[in-house]
A = this chain, B = another copy of it.
Amino acid sequence: MVDISQIGEFGLIKRIRRGLGYKNKEVKEVVVGIGDDCAAIKLTKGLLLIATTDSLVEGVHFKLNTISPSLLGKKSVATNISDIAAMGGIPRYLLITIGIPPSLSVEYIDSLYKGIKEATESYNVIVIGGDTFRSDDRLIISITLIGEIEEEFLVRRGGAKVGDKIFVTGSLGDSALGLEILESGINDSRSVKVTQQSSPQSSPIDEIISRHILPTPRLEEGRVLATKGLASAMIDISDGLASDLRRICEESVVGARIYLKELPISDTLNNIVFTQDKSPYDYALYGGEDYELLFTVRGDKVKDILRYWEGMKTPIKEIGEIIEEDEGIVLIDEAYNIIPLIRDGYDHFLK
C-alpha cells in the first residue's frame, strides 16, 4: 500500500490523470481536457448547456466499510446522471473534486477513480477536470456534471397543472431499506458479494442492497419522456417521494393527491418486516436515494405514455394526480381517508 504523503498532490494528480486514460484527441469536442487551467469544450450547435452538482460525503452519505471504493466512484457519477435524466438531457462532461484523508491509500484512490471511469464510460461522459484537497476527517466526492439538451425538450419542475396524472418509474423505498440492512450489519457476511449489476441469481437482500449501493439513474426513461413530450414536470427522487413531490408542487404552484395503494413497492420491501414501527409506505414516502423519476403527465397524454412505454425495461406507475394548490399535498389511504402530507424526507441538518 502506498501512502498519499509519499507521492504528494502532484504525484496523485498525475496518477489520476493517467488512470482516467484520457487523451485530448480522442474526442474532438474536447478542445482542452484535464491538465490546464480550464477545460474547453465545443458544445453541440443549438443545444442548451445544462449543469448540476452533487456531493457524496463520508459519514453523511456513505461509510467506508459498507461500500467499495469502485462502487462509491460509480455511485457518485450515478447520482449526478440522475439530475440530468430528470431534465430529459444528455450527460456529457464531468468535473470531480475529491477531499482525501491522508490515511487513505493510493490504491483506494485508484479504485475510486476506476469506478468513476467505468461509470463515465457507460454513460458516454468524459472527465474534463477536477480538484483535490486534503480532508483530514472524511472522504468527500463532489461532482459537477455538464450536459446538453434541446430547448424544446427541457422538462422542468414547474410545469405541472391541475388534472395532470402523477407517475413514478421503478419501485420506491428499496434504497432506504437497503441502507438499513447495511447499517444493521445483518448482511455482514454477504455485503462483499454485492456486485454492480445484481444477477438473476442474487438474493432479494442483495438486490435491495444494490439499490442503495448503486442506484440506476433513469437516463433513457427521462430522455424518452422529454423527447416525446410526455412529461409536463419531472424530478428525480433523491430525498424521498414526499420531499421531491413537494418540490414539484412548490415550483408548479399546485397540490397533489397520492394513492398509497398505488405506490410501486417491491415484493422484497413488502415481505421484509424489518423494523416493527414502519410500514413499506414509510420507506416509499420518506426513504431517500431511490433515484427514480417522479413526473406528471397531462390527462390526454396518458394513453400515449402507455403506448410509448411498451418495450421499456423499467416500469412506470400512476400514483396520483395534481390538484389545486389550496387542497395541499395529501395521501389517500386504503380506506380512502385523506391524510395531509406533513413530514418530509431526510434532512442532514435537522436534529
What residues make up the interface of A, taking CB atoms closer than 8 Å to B? Answer: 4-5, 7-10, 12, 31-32, 35-43, 48-55, 57, 59-61, 83-84, 86-87, 89, 93, 95, 97, 99-100, 102, 128-131, 133-138, 140, 142, 144, 146-147, 149, 151, 154, 156-158, 234-236, 243, 251, 344, 347-351
Task: Taking A38-B50, A51-B93 as given, write out 9 further A-B residue pairs in contact, using a Cβ cutoff of 8 Å, ordered by the A residue number.
Answer: A35-B251, A37-B87, A37-B157, A52-B95, A52-B129, A53-B130, A97-B142, A133-B348, A137-B137
Check B53 against A136 for contact (C-beta < 8 Å): no
Check A87 against B8 for contact (C-beta < 8 Å): no
Pick the contact of A5: B35, B149, B156, B350 (CB < 8 A).
Answer: B350
Check A50 against B55 for contact (C-beta < 8 Å): no
Q: How far is the CB of A349 from chain B (nearest CB, A)?
A: 5
Check A149 against B52 for contact (C-beta < 8 Å): no
Pick the contact of A344: B10, B12, B235, B236 (CB < 8 A).
Answer: B10
A200 to B351, CA, bound (A): 49
Pick the contact of A349: B12, B42, B53 (CB < 8 A).
Answer: B12
A-B pairs with the 6 shortest C-beta distances? A37-B86, A144-B144, A38-B50, A38-B52, A8-B350, A37-B83
A54 to B86, CA, bound (A): 27
Assess A87 versus B53: contact at CB under 8 Å? Given A43-B43, A137-B138, A347-B8: no
Check A51 against B37 for contact (C-beta < 8 Å): no
Residue of B nearest to A348 (CB): B134
Q: Which residues on the B side are within 8 Å of A60 (C-beta)?
A: 133-135
A243 to B57, CA, bound (A): 30
Assess A131 versus B138: contact at CB under 8 Å? Given A38-B50, A41-B51, A251-B36: no
Residue of B nearest to A137 (CB): B137
Pick the contact of A8: B61, B129, B130, B349 (CB < 8 A).
Answer: B349
Residue of B nearest to A145 (CB): B38
Q: Which residues on the B side are within 8 Å of A89 (C-beta)?
A: 38
Check A9 against B134 for contact (C-beta < 8 Å): no
Check B129 against A51 for contact (C-beta < 8 Å): yes
13 contacting pairs across A/B (C-beta < 8 A): A8-B347, A9-B348, A37-B83, A37-B84, A37-B87, A38-B51, A42-B49, A51-B144, A55-B133, A55-B142, A131-B142, A134-B348, A146-B146
Assess A95 versus B51: contact at CB under 8 Å? Given A37-B86, A251-B36, A347-B10: yes
Q: Which residues on the B side are within 8 Å of A84 (C-beta)?
A: 37-38
Pick the contact of A131: B5, B7, B53, B133 (CB < 8 A).
Answer: B53
Check A87 against B157 for contact (C-beta < 8 Å): no
Q: Which residues on the B side are within 8 Å of A87 (C-beta)?
A: 32, 36-38, 40
Residue of B nearest to A157 (CB): B36
A128 to B49, CA, bound (A): 12
Check B40 against A48 for contact (C-beta < 8 Å): yes
Assess A57 versus B134: contact at CB under 8 Å? Given A36-B156, A48-B40: yes
A57 to B132, CA, bound (A): 11
Residue of B nearest to A128 (CB): B51
A37 to B89, CA, bound (A): 11
A134 to B137, CA, bound (A): 13
Residue of B nearest to A144 (CB): B144
